[in-house]
Amino acid sequence: NSNRAAISRLHRQLYGRLYPVLLVNTDGSTLRLRYKEPKKIVMLPLDSSTLPEAERKARLRRQFPSKPKAGMEETFEGIDLATYKRFWKK
């Protein structure tokens, strides 16, 4: 049925033609090529072994942020309970 393709994506393992795609290199340059699947952009992964040590650590820090530290818990030692006596039920 021709209406099936309009409702959802095509359920194919292999596409019959090549599609124009924008390839983005790791240095930011772009290249138009023909790809087997209909995609808009294909980005190449960045090789972290070629980066300087400081930039590599900065990228890892952005990718895996540290967990938030637990704050200090409030204690009731310094509170004068007589000021809140009017809110208690009798």
What is the extent of the structural domain holding 24? 16-45
Distance in angstroms (rounded) separating the CA atoms of residues 39 and 21: 6
Q: Are 38 and 15 spatial neighbours (Cβ–Cβ below 8 Å)? A: yes
User: Is 84 contained in some domain?
Assistant: no
Taking residues 68-88, what's their average pLDDT?
81
Say whether pLDDT at 86 is over 70: yes
pLDDT of residue 32: 92
Number of domains in the chain: 1
**17 class by beta-carbon count within 10 Å (0-12 exposed, 13-18 middle, 19+ buried):** exposed
How confident is the model over 70-81, as a mean pLDDT? 78
Which tokens sit at 76? 């009731």
**CA atoms of 39 and 28, how far apart (whole Å):** 18
Its pTM stands at 0.41
Question: For residue 58, is it within any domain?
Answer: no
The answer to whether position 38 is within a domain reads yes
Q: Is residue 39 part of a domain?
A: yes
- Digit-coded pLDDT (tens) for 5-62: 556 666 677 767 888 999 888 888 899 988 888 888 888 877 778 888 998 899 888 8
